[in-house]
Each structure stands twice: as C-alpha cells, then as structure tokens.
Amino acid sequence: MRPTIDQIRTAAYGRWERRGRVHGFDRADWNAAEKQQILFVNYRVLTADRLDSEAPRAIGDPSRRRCRFCRQATPRAEFSSRVRIIPDYLGPGSPVAFDQCQECASHFSETVDPGLAQFVRPFLVGSSSTLPGAAGIAVDAYKGLVRLALSVMPVSDLEDHEDTVEWVSNPDHDFDLNVFRDLTCTVHVVPAAFPASWVALAKLKDDREAWPSMLFFLGTSHVVFQILVPLGQRDSDHDGVPITVPDILPPSPFGPEHEPIARVMLPIVSTEAVREPTLR
C-alpha cells in the first residue's frame, strides 16, 4: 500500500521541524519521508535491539528450557546458561537466548557464523566512502543473517517459519540455490557511523501485498544490511520467496544523521563463488 500524500507531507514537515526549519532540503526530506511512510504503512516493527544496552533483553524462559530451533527440551537437549544471539564483534549488548540448545548453537557457530563474519567484517572499518566492493552475499552469510532474525522472532511468528529453520539448519548451503537465486541483501550506506550496532525485525501487516512478510535489519558502522526472511508460511502465495524489495527507510533507533544516502543490492551467490582461491 502506498502512503497518502497527506501522510508523506506530514512526515516531511516533521523532518523539516526537527531539522530546525532550515530550508533547502525539501526534496531530500520528501523522499526520506516517503520511504519512512512506506515502511510504517505496510510493516509493524516487532523487535528492535540496540547492541550497547547494559541490560540486554532475555529471550526464552530460563526456568523452562526448550530450543526454538530443534524444539527439544531438557533433559533431552542440553542448555548452557545463556547464548548470546549477536556475535561479539557487533557489540557488547547482545540479547541473550535461553531457548537455544547447545547443539544448535554450536551447529550454527560452525555452519553459518564464519560466513557471516567474513561478509560483515570488511564493512566495520573505514567510512561511508570506502566501503568494500562486495560482489554478492554468500549463502552461508545470508543464512547467518536469517538465523539472527529467527533468534529474535516472537515465538508466534516462528511457527510460520518451520521451512526457514530447516533451510538455515541445512549445512549443504549450495543445495537448491536455484530456488533462492532472486534473494538479495540490501546494503544501505549511512553518512555518520551508528553510535551502536542494532537489529530490528518488521512484519508485513497485510498478506495480500506481494511484499516480503518479514524483514530483518542489522545496522552497524556505516551500513544497514536489510534482508527478507524467506520461506515463511505467509509468503506461500508467492512461492515462499517474494522478490519485490520495498524501497524503505530502515527502522533505525538513531536520528536523521544516520539515515541512508545510498543503497546497493547484493545478490545471493554460492559459497564457492566467494571462497578464497587456493593454490594447486
């Protein structure tokens, strides 16, 4: 659904006021307001976590341990005291999970975390004008982002994503890649680095829209990575892999100075495609 002209005008006016009523940014304010309204009219932001919180959010019930991925409970599954959801290099204040068993956590740390780190790390250094020229996002890195999305997803929505869990858990990353070849990771470039990394999840309000039912955002340094969470039940009318990527403003917890000035779409590529060349 498109926002109305009135909605955009009101949002643009609000931006102009927050800017101290300085003139000369009318077009930029209007464009940003439109992208912001496209998000708010169509999506509900379910979760948003700053990763510098001194009291990070706890997910899951510490007194009743059951894994959100394999669905096993104690005593069949073993649980460590807590699992940090977001890798340390993205911030010290990751939410902690009481609902990820040791086996699943260590499985993901071997199968998707290294690929995600390899993809993200080059973006953590430099400025908005010296971003790495990534040609694509490897499947394991994409799955690493999806795993983060699944980790912070409300349990009621997780039930709609059984196929997603299965896909992310499959260590044969290049299997069936053809089905996912239209997936992209949008990299929004922001001019001023975020004071802290953050993650957010947004859910489509109306299933009749041919847009992704669930979007995940990871903001860090000078970028926001935006992906859709594939294979959701609510996407089944569109073969589980919606293609349209809405042109929106990410739901950042920080101010307008951290709003994107550009975006790049990285296609998903096989893990083979990004592997370092080896000497023969």
Tell the smallest beta-carbon distance from residue 71 to Zn ion (Å).
Answer: 7
Q: Six-digit token pair at 241?
A: 């892999």
- Give the separation between CA 108 and CA 251, rounded to whole angstroms: 27
Site for Zn ion in 187-226 (CB under 5 A): none
From the list 29-37, 94-102, 201-209, 269-277, the region that binds Zn ion by CB under 5 A is 94-102
Tell the smallest beta-carbon distance from residue 80 to Zn ion (Å).
Answer: 12
Name the residue nearer to Zn ion (CB basis): 65 or 258.
65
If DSSP codes are grouped into helix, strand and coil, which group holds residue 152?
helix
Tell the smallest beta-carbon distance from residue 76 to Zn ion (Å).
Answer: 10
3-class secondary structure per residue, 153-181: CCHHHHHHHHHHHHHHHCCCCCCCHHHHC
Would you give the distance in Å from CA 209 to the centre of its chain? Answer: 20
Name the residue nearer to Zn ion (CB basis): 151 or 220.
151
Tell the smallest beta-carbon distance from residue 58 to Zn ion (Å).
Answer: 17
Site for Zn ion in 98-127 (CB under 5 A): 101, 104
Tell the smallest beta-carbon distance from residue 72 to Zn ion (Å).
Answer: 6
Q: Indicate the burial class of 275 (C-beta count within 10 angstroms; 0-12, 13-18, 19 or more).
A: exposed
Among 51, 67, 201, 214, binds Zn ion (CB under 5 A): 67
Tell the smallest beta-carbon distance from residue 165 to Zn ion (Å).
Answer: 10
Name the residue nearer to Zn ion (CB basis): 75 or 277.
75
Q: Report helix, strand and coil shares of the chain as percent, to nearest 5.
A: 35, 20, 45
Would strands 137-138 and 198-204 be described as parallel, antiparallel, or unpaired?
Answer: unpaired
State which amino acid sits at residue 58: A
Look at residues 88, 97, 84 and name the one whose alpha carbon lies nearest to residue 153: 97
Among 35, 51, 56, 69, binds Zn ion (CB under 5 A): 69
Look at residues 169, 146, 164 and name the one whose alpha carbon lies nearest to residue 235: 164
Q: Are 195 and 220 in contact (CB under 8 A)?
A: no
- Give the separation between CA 36 and CA 207, rounded to whole angstroms: 20
Q: Does 70 help bind Zn ion (rule: CB under 5 A)?
A: yes
Name the residue nearer to Zn ion (CB basis): 169 or 271.
169
Tell the smallest beta-carbon distance from residue 148 to Zn ion (Å).
Answer: 16
Name the residue nearer to Zn ion (CB basis): 58 or 273.
58
Tell the smallest beta-carbon distance from residue 214 to Zn ion (Å).
Answer: 21
Name the residue nearer to Zn ion (CB basis): 149 or 228.
149
- Give the separation between CA 149 and CA 227, rounded to whole angstroms: 9
- Residue count at the site for Zn ion (CB under 5 A)? 5
- Give the separation between CA 30 and CA 13, rounded to whole angstroms: 9
From the list 33-41, 56-64, 65-73, 263-271, the region that binds Zn ion by CB under 5 A is 65-73
From the list 64-72, 82-90, 120-128, 153-161, the region that binds Zn ion by CB under 5 A is 64-72
Would strands 58-59 and 96-97 be described as parallel, antiparallel, or unpaired?
Answer: parallel
Q: Would you tell me which residues interact with Zn ion (CB under 5 A)? A: 67, 69-70, 101, 104
